[in-house]
Amino acid sequence: MMLATVAFSACNSEEEATQPTAQMKIEQDTYNINESMTVHFTGNAENVVIYPGDSGHDYELREQSNTGLVVNKGLFTYAYTTPGVYKVVCLVTNHSNEGQVVLRDTCSAYVHVKDDVTELERISAPAVYYDEVFAEQIGGGNWLMALPRKLLYKNKTLTVPLTQKLKFYIASSTSTIAIDGADFSSTTKYNLGSTHEITVTSNEGNVASYKLLTLNYAIFKSFSLLGATGTLGYSEYDYSTYTMNVKVPAGSDISAVAPKFAMTGTNESAFINGVEQTSGVTKVDFTRPVTYTLIATHPENPEVKLETTVTVNVTFE
């Protein structure tokens, strides 16, 4: 009798599950891809999950391994990566009797996710040294790709051609890119010696236009001092910085010498402290290292320039 009474009392002390209420408030019904959607749970329940409705989280496919995501402290945020119309389902449950009794409730709402991305994040020439050469956005819808003519790789000097593959970084999987009116191909090599017209068309049909300009870093084609020819040294990591090493006869006066040099491109000029240098004319004091600033100007857009520094070191034989 005593044991039966204790067992009966324990059963009666088990709280009955109360019916949960599924209620939620979504701040807006239209979003762009990668834009955070915020859901506020306003109902009453012990356990709350949200099915956003996209791949892997579709409530209608919950029996096929699609899952809901847990709501933490009544707040849920989510960002969609693919455009579409999604059914957002809130599922709430209360349990009792060690989970043998489960009471549920659901509510739902639809959100429209748009992909209207036309903004390029980055452009690179991926074949140049492990995809580390990126174009710079220079305003007015223009991008400037700065390329070295040569680079140092594993102690070898390699020539970098102007014909290169391109890679575009954009926060969209559905926007399309065209170059000079033709669909962009990641396997095509483009002649970067010419300016290219780039258009980006979003999934919503909006279009943005850009120009891709390319400049080689300016570099001395030749450099000599008192009849001695200089040797150009490359940096493995900084394509805008070089050294020029010249060894002249012992006892030479190098305090006021006019070096002879030639630029690689007709659009390149050499300066020291802002003063343009003329080959065989402008005298320079080489008793200490001298830094030249080489400037390459884009032939189609003179306002677009690229700067290189070359440090000339003169030693004696």
- The reported pTM is 0.81
The whole-number average pLDDT for the span 23-44 is: 96
Q: Are 174 and 83 in contact (CB under 8 A)?
A: yes
Measured distance CA(76)–CA(37) in Å, rounded: 8
Q: Write the DSSP string, 46-99.
A: SEEEEE-SSTT--GGGGGGT---EE-BTTEEEEE-SS-EEEEEEEEEEEEETTT
Instruction: Clarify whether residues 72 and 158 are in a common domain.
Output: no
Q: Which residue intervals of 139-258 are DSSP H helices? A: none
Instruction: Clarify whether residues 236 and 208 are in a common domain.
Output: no
Measured at the alpha carbon of residue 242, what is the angle toward residues 237 and 244, in degrees to the nearest 5? 145
Q: Are 33 and 81 in contact (CB under 8 A)?
A: yes
pLDDT at residue 313, as a whole number: 98
Task: Let me know if residue 291 belongs to a domain.
Answer: yes
Q: Give me the domain span that covers residue 99.
A: 15-114
Instruction: Clarify whether residues 132 and 206 are in a common domain.
Output: yes
The whole-number average pLDDT for the span 214-223 is: 97
Q: Token pair of 13, please?
A: 């002390």
Measured distance CA(176)–CA(115) in Å, rounded: 11
The whole-number average pLDDT for the span 216-242 is: 94
- At residue 141 the predicted structure's pLDDT band, cuts being 50, 70 and 90, is very high
Instruction: Clarify whether residues 131 and 173 are in a common domain.
Output: yes
Task: Let me know if residue 101 belongs to a domain.
Answer: yes
Please enumerate in sequence order all residues whose Cβ is within 8 A of that of 11, keeping only pairs 6 or more positions apart, or say none. Answer: none
In total, how many domains does the chain have?
3
- At residue 3 the predicted structure's pLDDT band, cuts being 50, 70 and 90, is very low
pLDDT at residue 96, as a whole number: 83
Domain final position from 114, 146, 171 = 114
Instruction: Clarify whether residues 209 and 227 are in a common domain.
Output: no
Task: Let me know if residue 3 belongs to a domain.
Answer: no
Instruction: Clarify whether residues 105 and 38 are in a common domain.
Output: yes
